[in-house]
Amino acid sequence: MLWPYTRSLGCAEGQPGSNPSAIAQIRLRRGNGGLSVLSDTQLIETLAHFPRERIPERFKTVHAKAAGAWGEFEVLHDCSDLTDALLLNAVGKKTPVLARISTVAGEKGSSDTVRDVRGWAMKVFTEEGNQDFVFNDLPVFFIRDPIKFPSMNRSHKRHPRTNVPDNNMFWDFHVNNQEGIHALMHLFGQRGIPASLRHINGYSVHTYTMNKEDGSFKYVKWTLRPEDGIETLPSDVALRLAGEEPDDQIKDLFNAIERGEYPRWIVYVQVMSSEEAASAPIDIFDNTFTWPHREYPLRPLGRLTLMQNPNNYFQEIEQAAFSPSNMVPGIGPSADLVLQARIFSYPDAARYRVGPNYQQLPSNRPRSKVYSPYERDGPGRIDGNYGGDPDYVQSSLQPLRVSTRHAVPTHEQWNGHVVQHSTEVTDKDFEQPRALWEIICSEKDGQMQFLDNIVPTLLGIKHELLVRALDMFARVDPDIKHLLEAEIQRRGSEKSGASPNQTQKYSVAT
């Protein structure tokens, strides 16, 4: 029989294949039944590849579910006073970008419309290597001592015994790590559930630096704002969509790009000198604080446009690996300890998840020339492996030039002792959440929605945790505690008899 395919089928190493539904076998009779043979390479290859076709989900399901697309970054304004990064050095210059926008806590098959932070990862393919921006859609983070990161995530995910998200764990973590109150206020506000990925902000959360070869530098925080504005979903609509259309936001982004409605964001920085940082009203190395816009206004730099869907999701998006450690000359880190821990953690995760040669895959491969002959061999090497070039440093057989434009961390001078330190929560941690509460109260239905979002997660948790959670909110504003108490009492009496997590409408996650 001739197969109606235009392309001829074959095994992975190119041998012509036979009928893909048939297997080689010794048949006993004309009916079913027989013995298969080990020499059927097509069968064995097909079956053996299948259980290996998934790579580990990102960091055991952190940021596992995502949409991704290709696009470009265009410089709109001169910023040569801040940086000599080539990607930013001429108005009108365009550089290709790969973006991946994710939820954080849900597994790969989870719903898009959960209350959660959205991860905002971008790889900009510049002529001096890849510049990655690994941001979130909320401006602050839940912790500032990076060693707490695995604990925080576990408390937001599945209970080790019951295997379901557990509000006792969630609040147990947060009442005992109250530096996260600012991020919690954002999470339970209207922006906790975006209406679409095309209408979310992006924030670097950390302070970074912009610098020049002469050694001068400024501290910056990055912000992306969608040109078409922010749109959010009311909880009841989100809850319905979570059941009816769990892939709603992935479809929305994909279909908009297919229709030619390209989503666009303006990219800004807030700027601070090191002298200003010394007297700033906030600690710029603490990612639980924002920089007030009045003192540190947003300065527009350029525009990000997403205009091309992946041709193959797995190859282009799943195998993409983003990392805050990927910085080009002109852009640098700061002394934010969470950022520094992340600089280690992402390439470490990529080597485990995708393999040690993940940088050679199409989504990660720099478009600029690469020569790093001291990283050799390993599974999946496909770039020629530097042939016979020396694989050790200081070879006189093949002397090398070294660029003066390597990314230098441009901190001030640091001098001190190594100490074991963890941060403490003070009244200052409640000041920005208090200002946010005032904004929430000034928004239409803001206060009512905030209560509506948070109360279901408090209903039924252990009494001592409830008391401490309410006291934590009282430190933001005593009104929040009173409003929550009244609402819990009202709903509790309506639902008397319900067991703790029966009242949970959706999982709360970061």
Catalytic residues: 63, 136
Closest CA to 211 of 409, 414, 402: 409
Closest CA to 287 of 429, 414, 391: 429
Q: Does 66 bind ligand HEM (CB under 6 A)?
A: yes
Q: Does 200 bind ligand HEM (CB under 6 A)?
A: no
Radius of gyration of the chain (CA): 26
Given the complex with ligand HEM, which of 272 and 350 has the nearer CB atom?
350
Span from 76-84, 295-303, 328-336, 343-351 in contact with ligand HEM (CB under 6 A): 343-351
Q: Does 272 bind ligand HEM (CB under 6 A)?
A: no
Q: Does 461 bind ligand HEM (CB under 6 A)?
A: no
Q: Which of 58, 123, 156, 182 binds ligand HEM (CB under 6 A)?
A: 58
Given the complex with ligand HEM, which of 256 and 349 has the nearer CB atom?
349
Given the complex with ligand HEM, which of 58 and 157 has the nearer CB atom?
58
Distance separating alpha carbons of residues 359 and 345, to the nearest angstrom: 16
Query: What is the SS3 string spanning 437-460?
Result: HHHHHHCCCHHHHHHHHHHHHHCC
Interface characters, 277-296, with ligand HEM (x: CB under 6 A): ----------x---------
Interface characters, 114-153, with ligand HEM (x: CB under 6 A): -----xxx------------xxx----x----x--x----
How many chain residues touch ligand HEM (CB under 6 A)? 28
Given the complex with ligand HEM, which of 305 and 345 has the nearer CB atom?
345
> Tokens 């195998």 belong to which residue?
319
The footprint of ligand HEM on residues 296-325 (CB under 6 A) is: 321-322
Distance separating alpha carbons of residues 286 and 221, to the nearest angstrom: 12
Smallest separation (angstroms) from ligand HEM to the CB of 61: 10
Q: Does 62 bind ligand HEM (CB under 6 A)?
A: yes
Closest CA to 459 of 508, 421, 420: 508
Q: Does 69 bind ligand HEM (CB under 6 A)?
A: no
Closest CA to 45 of 12, 4, 82: 12
Q: Which of 61, 63, 285, 466 binds ligand HEM (CB under 6 A)?
A: 63
Residues in the chain, overall count: 510
Q: Find the largest Cα–Cα distance for the chain.
A: 88
Smallest separation (angstroms) from ligand HEM to the CB of 241: 22
Interface characters, 1-40, with ligand HEM (x: CB under 6 A): ----------------------------------------
Query: Euclidean distance between the first and final Cα of the chain, in Å?
Result: 55
Per the CB < 8 A criterion, the answer to whether 226 and 198 are in contact is: yes
Closest CA to 220 of 300, 146, 142, 143: 300
Q: Does 224 bind ligand HEM (CB under 6 A)?
A: no
Span from 1-9, 40-48, 339-347, 373-381 in contact with ligand HEM (CB under 6 A): 339-347
Distance separating alpha carbons of residues 479 and 481, to the nearest angstrom: 5
> Does 346 count as an annotated binding residue?
yes
Give the side-chain half-sphere CA count within 13 A for 236.
Answer: 2
Residue 294, Cβ neighbours under 10 Å: how many? 6
Q: Does 70 bind ligand HEM (CB under 6 A)?
A: no
The footprint of ligand HEM on residues 89-108 (CB under 6 A) is: 100, 102
Distance separating alpha carbons of residues 296 and 272, to the nearest angstrom: 7
Identify residue 3 by its one-letter amino acid code: W
Q: Does 250 bind ligand HEM (CB under 6 A)?
A: no
Binding residues for heme: 346
